[in-house]
Homo-oligomer: A and B are copies of this chain.
Amino acid sequence: MSKGDSVVLLDFWASPFCARVKIALEEKNVKHIDNEEDLFGKKSELLLISNPIHQKVPVFLHNGKPVIESAIIVNYIDEVWPENSLLPANAYERAQARFWADFIDKKVFDNGRNIWANNGEEREVGTRDFLEVLKHLEEALGEKDYFGGDTFGYVDIIAIPHSAWFLAYEKLGGFKVEDHSPKISAWIKRSLERESVKKVLPDPEKVYQFVLHFRKMSGLE
């Protein structure tokens, strides 16, 4: 890549999907311009033009050309800046990594939202489903340090930003991730020691306050 590359991220501080992109860029030592979107106000012209279908962050603009969907953006970053490879070199392991990224995409945030954007029975169902998802992830991690094995890789980048929301899930769902998934809990601590992750992830307490604010605005509290 030439030094003159323009790299812009349309971002939102609390979004675990945006955090994926920022961690990947840190891992690759790629500088970027960060455009914080006001998701409760007016979406930027650039966001609407770049992602007319979903109108969501993150949008990754590389030399002005938009790439959409966070897992696809991380994959793209890995292909364009191949040093410090994130996806495994082996095709089968790559397919496995993509499977877990897909599983996380389908299950973690939506089940988490079923906890914090609900009350009563719906919240209980959300909590139960979320703990089931954690169980699968605990098994997938097994005795490895990272989902990528010995090194922090693609699936770790996809998964770790969700952990900034876990405090909110725990407080509202009435459980502790550590009690149910000690390996995932240890993996979170391990990953949080990493420079890229430490630098990017928001404070879980701040996310929790954001969630409480949202709950108040939605009449849930």
Interface positions of A (Cβ within 8 A of B): 53, 62, 65, 67-69, 72-73, 75-76, 79-80, 91-92, 94-96, 98-99, 102-103, 136
Contact A91 B72 (CB under 8 A): no
Tell me the complex Cα distance, A102–B79, Å: 18
Chain B residues with CB under 8 A of A136: 53
Contact A102 B62 (CB under 8 A): no
- Contacts A53-B103, A53-B136 given; indicate if A92 touches B72 (C-beta within 8 A): no
Tell me if A's interface is mostly helix, strand, loop or mixed: helix
Contact of A98 among B53, B69, B92, B96 (CB under 8 A): B69
Contact A75 B92 (CB under 8 A): no
Chain B residues with CB under 8 A of A69: 98-99, 102
Q: Could you say which of A53, A65, A103 has the most chain B C-beta atoms within 10 Å of its C-beta?
A: A53
Which are the 7 A-B pairs with shortest beta-carbon distances? Answer: A76-B95, A79-B91, A72-B98, A67-B95, A80-B91, A68-B99, A72-B95
Please name the residue on chain B nearest to A78 by beta carbon.
B91
Tell me the complex Cα distance, A2–B62, Å: 39
- Number of this chain's copies in the assembly equals 2
Contact A76 B62 (CB under 8 A): no
Chain B residues with CB under 8 A of A96: 67
Chain B residues with CB under 8 A of A79: 91, 94
Tell me the complex Cα distance, A68–B140, Å: 14
Contact A62 B92 (CB under 8 A): yes
Knowing that A62-B92, A67-B95 are A-B contacts, what are 8 other residue pairs whose CB atoms are under 8 Å apart, sorted by A's residue number? A68-B99, A69-B99, A72-B95, A72-B99, A72-B102, A76-B91, A76-B95, A79-B91
Chain B residues with CB under 8 A of A92: 62, 65, 67, 76
Tell me the complex Cα distance, A91–B72, Å: 11
CB distance from A72 to the nearest CB of B (A): 5
Tell me the complex Cα distance, A95–B73, Å: 7
CB distance from A204 to the nearest CB of B (A): 27
